[in-house]
Structure 1
Amino acid sequence: MISTLKEKLKGMSVEVKSATVYTLSSVFSRGLAIISMPIFTRIMSSADIGVVNLYTSWYSMISIVSTLALTSGGYSLAMKEFDGERDAYESSVLTLTTIMALVIGGGLVLLSPWASPAIGLSPRLIILMTFGLLVMPAWDFWNLRQRFEYKYKLSFVLSVGSAVLATVASVGAVLLVSSQPESNVNLSEARLAANYLVVYGLSAVMWILLMIRGKRFYDRRFWKFSLNLSLPLIGYSIASQVLNVSDRVMISSMVGDAETGVYGVLYSASSIALFLWTAINASFIPYLFRNIDTEGHQGIRKASTLLLAVFALVSILISWLGPEIIKVLATDEYLAAITLMPPIAAGVFLTSISNLYSNILVYYKKTKYIMFAAIAAAVVNVALNLVAIPLFGYGAAAYTTLASYIILAVSQRAWATKACRERGRMEPIYEDGKLGALSVACIAATMAGIILYKTNVLRYVTCAVLLVLVAFLSVKAKSSRES
């Protein structure tokens, strides 16, 4: 089997080979998180898991500001713009993120007596977060460049190796602390510290490497180019993170950490397919940017539709197999809220639609349009949560998030169409009509999971059919990309 895989990889183009390896890396890393989840849900309380979700939620939002959104789409464009000065560019923009991390992280640490109760994290977790804000951009910059240059071997080894080590460390830490009831160490803190010290440690090494290799800490051209492109993306990225994680933050504040833990586990289970789309999109962006100037490029049109179709089927499949996924990953405490999986899975799919159109806006340097759409969706999400959670319980957050993702996808398409027309381009880059129909069909099919949960035989038969369709369309999408 391994020999056959090696032979297939040798026969692929470098673009397809890189996309395949990065997808496998993401699948493996996410797979470890899924495999370890049953251990955590059976040892840690839902409140402890709620704290873990709260930490990742706050980190996601704060890191957008500290990184100045430099990893949110414009980095690939900078790799193309400064082709012969990539090392210098990396060290220069890393200086920017370092300054921001020291200001924001240092402020949080100094104000931790007040910040800690406000955000629901202990001072120790605030210090851990600050270290992450400082060094994580180095890993992101390095990895994005590897993807852009289709260099995948070392990236694969480091990504998979660090994921394995971090998972083993976090599981070991939780098992050790739970076996010592007299210990005053919190399970959530033990898990987070063990996991992220591995991840942040690797990032710290990358930080040193990029600084030594680039040897340029300030360059007006790099800073001006990056800030002009990324500053509007900060608004977009913050709004996107608010859209992605505000539900957990608001549930923690308005209901409790235990409910946040239940919702967070269901959200993670529903989002299993998202890691696949993240890998696909990261590999699709270089292909898109290299060919987007060819109006009516059939490779882009066919590949984007097929890739979206594959992701739609995977999202539907995860929704329909929700009870089985939760039985494996968690306990009956989480299974009681299984009907939240379909709307969450539908919302997760819509992020792929938004990403496709935001890629166009990044290429045309219309990042302010991305910001407008994201802010509108985030404001709607927060407003709906403020009303719906007190009235209908924390489960309402799944439906308010779906509604907000619909607004985001529709808005991104409208702004991308406007950007194309401003450039004198009248023909759509994607097959817009097919993507719209696919979105409606995916939402309807995903929500049908609520009904199918009551009829196991029909559910299993339809899932088998979906698996066949996924395999067929995956082969077709691969052929389209290679051509």
Structure 2
Amino acid sequence: MADPRQDEAQERASSSTLFGRGLLYVVVAGAQLVSSAVASPVLAHVLGDPASLGTLALAISVHQLLMAVVLLGLDHAVVLRFAQDGDDRAARALATAALLAATTCTALVWVTAGWWAPAFGFTDRPVLLLTVLWTVPTAGVFVALGLLLAADRLRPYALVTLVSAVGGQVLGVVLVLAHVQTAGPTGVSRYVTGLLVADALGAVVGLCLARPRLRGALSWPVLAPAVAFGVPLVLNSLSGFVLNAGDRIVLQRLAGPAEVGRYQIAYTVGYVATQVIGLTSATWTPRFAAVADRALRWELIGATRDTIYRLLSPVVLGITLGAPVVLRVIAPATFEPAGLLVVVYVVVLSAYAGAAGSATGRMLVIERRTRLLAVVSLAVAASNIGLNLVLVPSWGASGAAVATLVAFCAQSAAQRWCARGLGTFPRATRRLHAEILLVSAVAGATVLLPQDPVTNAVRFALALACLPWCLVLLRRARRAV
């Protein structure tokens, strides 16, 4: 006799649903990317110089590092426990435990700031204080969003996201614009203050809607499996930090904050596709976790991976074509945007490896093979730092981009090898592989074109033409069964 709950879980994990209602969660979560993309050119112009933007990039990178650690992976355990149990009591208790862990770890981070801050190149104490304090409300937002996502409560999820993510960007930019004469480090402090205040408000709203449960929060039978699952994910998140932000730290140490600021602008443009893939992994994981049949789960994950590959073709080509114009719009001439096109191209290519790694990583998480993920993560993180140390002195920002691409490819291959014992994972077709190689080659060839006004205008027109192509592919995905 069929299990109605499994039938419902299978339907929620189907391609048509994931690229329908499931995609709405990705769109909502992507509001932060959009708002950040809008805020970046404003900040680049108002802060006035690459060094100030580099300080801001460093603060955001350290914030991401802290978020990878202070929750001890319990935010991921909350989502998986809810999805696999079909009951929210244990998950809500874990949410409270995650908040307690985040608060305690943040206090320890502040006490030890005098030891680790100089190693990261942090010289501005107000920015350092705000960055550390920002950790606690962001943890509250993460936990609340996890509960709302697992419960499939789209409207509350959207409300919390808009308040914290979009509200933070708006408030931060307003605070900077209100005191333009205090650009530089003070401007950075005001922007981070806006992000902190909005996250605090979002955390309050989200936790009221998600209602974490105090009872059972310190129960060892509830905590033990969650900690065993979550702590290795901390290492995985740390490697994600290294892949996404470690290059900035190496650049800061070897080339200075101005080069970090230039790299940040190019990285923001090129990394959009990989960020969206990360959002799909986070928002779709509970849907796949609810499917009990392992073979069917593999099939569904493989099908969505292939669909994302196809969607990436117009995205990779469009971003590369449009980058010369976009870079000149969002960055002043002092950033030398013409020299950043190679960085954008190399970074956007990492989206293909990100899609492959996201698929196998999702399966390993659902199967609770987080220790394998941790081992892979440590190896990839070490190789990425090593490559940056070798390539950055000679190639600067372009070297950092190449190191990131190589690391993403290595991570994808290693995770695929680790998942080999979990069942037969569908391979992408030769035709799809050929399409990826062709699009990558064509996009790379456009990098060699001159960057005069006429050529850039033609490029941008062709980039806009990629949008209908992407929409057609998305419509097909929504009709798929």
Q: TM-score range by the shorter chain?
A: 0.7 to 0.9
1:314 aligns with 315
Q: 1:378 aligns with which of 381, 390, 399?
A: 381
Letter in 2 for 1:123: R
User: What displacement does 1:195 show?
Assistant: 2.0
User: What displacement does 1:78 show?
Assistant: 1.1
For the pair 1:302 / 2:293, whether they are aligned, the reply is no
1:197 aligns with 197
- Percent of aligned pairs sharing the same letter: 18
- Identify if the C-alpha distance between structure 1 residues 362 and 163 changes in structure 2 by more than 3 Å, giving closer, same or farther: closer
User: What displacement does 1:125 show?
Assistant: 3.0
Give the Cα–Cα distance (whole angstroms) in 1 for the partners of residues 432 and 372 of structure 2.
20
Q: 1:127 aligns with which of 117, 126, 129?
A: 129
Indicate if the aligned counterparts of 1:307 and 1:474 stay in contact, CA closer than 8 A: no
User: If the length of structure 1 is used for normalisation, what is the TM-score?
Assistant: 0.85
User: What displacement does 1:356 show?
Assistant: 0.9
2:33 aligns with 30
Q: Note the aligned Cα RMSD (angstroms).
A: 2.9
Indicate if the aligned counterparts of 1:381 and 1:401 stay in contact, CA closer than 8 A: yes
Partner SS, residue 216 of structure 1: coil
Q: 2:447 aligns with which of 444, 447, 450?
A: 450
Query: What CA deviation, in whole Å up to 9, does each residue of 1:119-162 have, x standing for no partner?
Result: 23333333323333333223212212222222101211231233
Letter in 1 for 2:357: S
Query: What CA deviation, in whole Å up to 9, does each residue of 1:299-355 have, x standing for no partner?
Result: 544333112211343133112211111122222233133221100111244222211
Partner SS, residue 337 of structure 1: helix
For the pair 1:51 / 2:55, whether they are aligned, the reply is yes
User: What displacement does 1:403 show?
Assistant: 1.2
Query: What CA deviation, in whole Å up to 9, does each residue of 1:439-474 have, x standing for no partner?
Result: 545543443341245555774575355333312211
Indicate if the aligned counterparts of 2:145 and 2:157 stay in contact, CA closer than 8 A: yes
Indicate if the aligned counterparts of 1:350 and 1:409 stay in contact, CA closer than 8 A: yes
User: What displacement does 1:386 show?
Assistant: 1.2
1:407 aligns with 410
1:392 aligns with 395
Letter in 1 for 2:50: S
Query: What CA deviation, in whole Å up to 9, does each residue of 1:254-276 have, x standing for no partner?
Result: 11111111111111111223343
Letter in 2 for 1:380: S
Residues 410-421 of structure 1: pairs in structure 2 closer than 5 A: 410-417=413-420, 419-420=421-422
Q: Which runs of 5+ in 1 are unaligned?
A: 1-11
Query: What CA deviation, in whole Å up to 9, does each residue of 1:339-398 have, x standing for no partner?
Result: 211001112442222111101111222112222222222111111111221233333111
The total of aligned residue pairs comes to: 459
Residues 79-478 of structure 1: pairs in structure 2 closer than 5 A: 79-84=82-87, 86-102=88-104, 104-121=105-122, 122-179=124-181, 186-204=186-204, 206=206, 213-291=213-291, 293=293, 295=295, 299-334=300-335, 335-338=337-340, 339-417=342-420, 419-420=421-422, 425=423, 427-429=424-426, 431=428, 440-441=437-438, 443-452=440-449, 454=451, 455-456=455-456, 459=459, 462-463=462-463, 466-478=466-478
Letter in 1 for 2:108: G
- Identify if the C-alpha distance between structure 1 residues 435 and 105 changes in structure 2 by more than 3 Å, giving closer, same or farther: farther
Give the Cα–Cα distance (whole angstroms) in 1 for the partners of residues 18 and 338 of structure 2.
44
Indicate if the aligned counterparts of 1:345 and 1:446 stay in contact, CA closer than 8 A: no
Letter in 1 for 2:238: I
Indicate if the aligned counterparts of 2:163 and 2:198 stay in contact, CA closer than 8 A: no
- Identify if the C-alpha distance between structure 1 residues 365 and 112 changes in structure 2 by more than 3 Å, giving closer, same or farther: closer
Give the Cα–Cα distance (whole angstroms) in 2 for the partners of residues 262 and 407 of structure 1.
26
